[in-house]
Amino acid sequence: MHEVMKIEGGHLLEGEVKISGAKNATVALIPAAVLANGPVTIVGIPQIADVKALADILRILKVEVIEVANDHIIIDPSHMENVDLDDDIVTKLRASYYFMGALLGKYGYVRMKMPGGCYLGPRPIDLHLKGFEALGAKVTYEKACYTIQAKKLKGAKIFLDIASVGATINIMMASVYAEGRTTIENAAKEPEIIDVATLLNKMGARIRGAGTNVITIDGVKSLSGCFHEIIPDRIEAGTFIIIAAAMAKRMVINNIIPQHLDALLSKLKEMGVNMEVGVDKVVIERSENLKSVDITTRPYPGFATDLQQPLTALLTQAEGEGKITETIYIERFKHCIELAKMGADIELMQAAAIIKGPTPLYGTKVSATDLRCGAAMIVAGLLAEGVTSIDNVYHIDRGYSEIDKKLSALGAKIWRENVD
Ligand code: EPU
């Protein structure tokens, strides 16, 4: 028996939804908290499987994790031990790699298994490791485990060949206690990086320039506990905005930072979506006459690769030909094969796809091959005639906080079943 998510499509949605704290900030903030020498309180934690896995890793490290409320945890590393992370749990998610930077930064030593996560084509971590080496660490890999150690970490100038989110955050964490100044050039500029730098600075770190392409970190001797509230999840927000553009009679999406969604909102405007953008919310009514657009994924502030997949589902309803070009993960197109099973007309090319619309979609058996493919299947399922059955739901649960509950409250017919 395994669990599937089922959606009966064709029902218009109406009401308000509140966006949760950002998954891709949370999964870095939790490991970053171990750099403190006292309790760190984090508010706005999304209810996702990745958080549970990270909390389990914290417990392996003898870090106290107190779940105060649904979205509110206290992480107390006062009595932590730098235990080898050779447990399989590390391979369940990508973000376990943030323990590399955090433990190296704190102890000068870390041994852990290779991180896992969604398969989106090759996802190397060479830039993370080169960054650690530049700070004076030695990296070895044997029996599926990395050992990274340094007698002393010393600040360095690091140029990233690619503006990697993970490498930028990991190097920030590894260098907060390093002697002297670290400079990261061609740093990634995603809002989640600013959120992690804000947490570390509240703990007493001296990080400047987060959100620009040059970040400097001046090493400090000690970090203390603090209180932090996570920024809203721009990808969850974008997913609900796309869902609203597809199916909303009228939907209010609350707790967003519209600036973080500029690239998506301007593309949707170009498509002819009816929307009104407020200070921290957006109101959307579906429009009958959507026009196709072309998008190219880029690092922030460009169009997010994570939203490319749910947007593909919406493009099946737009008039004309829309081309999606991937520049971040060139193999991130498995959702197109699933959408085609539902009736979409999509031509796959090298690192690109052309979607011809509008085409009606029909409910059938599909798979959430990765997290954001799961989001695309939900958009398509809501649009489709009949019932869509989505397999591999655990991918969706890794990154979307109570998505079926939120959609049900808006009037969607969505439920889970155990099937053979
Ligand atoms: N890259 C390298 N070497 C490295 C690191 C990255 O070649 O050492 C390449 C990657 O292969 C990719 C590009 O650089 O082509 C950008 O990767 P990046 O490191 O920025 O991605 P990431 O940190 O692994 C995060 C998010 C992803 C999101 C990407 C891009 C987390 C945990 N994951 O991944 O989120 O797609 O940034 O914005 O923050 C998701 O939420 O579904 C998801 C996959």
Count of structural domains, the chain = 2
Q: Name the average pLDDT for the chain.
A: 96
Same domain, 178 and 37: yes
User: Same domain, yes or no, for 195 and 330?
Assistant: no
Pocket-testing residue among 24, 97, 307, ligand 1, by greatest number of atoms within 8 A of Cβ: 24
Q: In which element (H, E) is residue 238 found?
A: helix 234-247
Distance of CA 365 from the midpoint of ligand 1 (Å): 29
Active site residue 118: yes
Supply the CATH number for residue 253's domain: 3.65.10.10
Residues 75 and 204 in one domain: yes
Say if residue 349 is in the same domain as residue 291: yes
For residues 240 and 211, membership in a common domain is answered with no
The whole-number average pLDDT for the span 203-222 is: 98
Q: What is the span of the domain harbouring residue 122?
A: 23-229
* Same domain assignment for residues 238 and 301: yes
Are 330 and 206 in the same domain?
no
Q: What is the pLDDT of residue 390?
A: 98
Element (H, E) at 140: strand 138-142
**pLDDT above 80: residue 413:** yes
| Per-residue model confidence as pLDDT tens digits over 254-266 | 999 999 999 999 9
Ligand 1 lined by 24 (C-beta under 6 Å): yes
Domain boundary among 176, 209, 229: 229
Which pLDDT tens digit goes with each residue over 166-201? Answer: 999 999 999 999 999 999 999 999 999 999 999 999
Band of residue 92 on the pLDDT scale cut at 50, 70, 90: confident
pLDDT tens-digit series, residues 296-305: 999 999 999 9
Do 67 and 8 have their domain in common? Answer: no
Same domain, 256 and 321: yes
**Domain boundary, last residue among 178, 200, 229:** 229
- Per-residue pLDDT, averaged over 248-256, amounts to 98
The pLDDT of 9-33, averaged and rounded, is 98
Note whether 218 and 181 are within 8 A (CB).
yes
Instruction: Using only the alpha carbons of the chain, give its radius of gyration.
Output: 21
State if residue 182 touches ligand 1 by the CB under 6 angstroms criterion.
no
- Please classify residue 332 by burial: count the beta carbons closer than 10 Å to its beta carbon, then call 0-12 exposed, 13-18 middle and 19+ buried: buried
Among 194, 229, 264, where does a domain finish? 229
Instruction: State pTM to two decimals.
Output: 0.97
Same domain, 194 and 72: yes
Q: Are 242 and 223 in the same domain?
A: no
> 181: which strand partners?
218
Q: Are residues 136 and 154 in the same domain?
A: yes
> pLDDT tens digits for 343-402?
999 999 999 999 999 999 999 999 999 999 999 999 999 999 999 999 999 999 999 999
Three-state SS for 69?
Answer: strand
Residue located nearest, by CA, to atom 37 of ligand 1: 165
Calpha distance 163→127 (Å, rounded)? 9
**Confidence at 118, pLDDT banded by 50, 70, 90:** low
Confirm or reject: Cβ of 126 under 6 Å from ligand 1. Answer: yes
331 pLDDT exceeds 80? yes
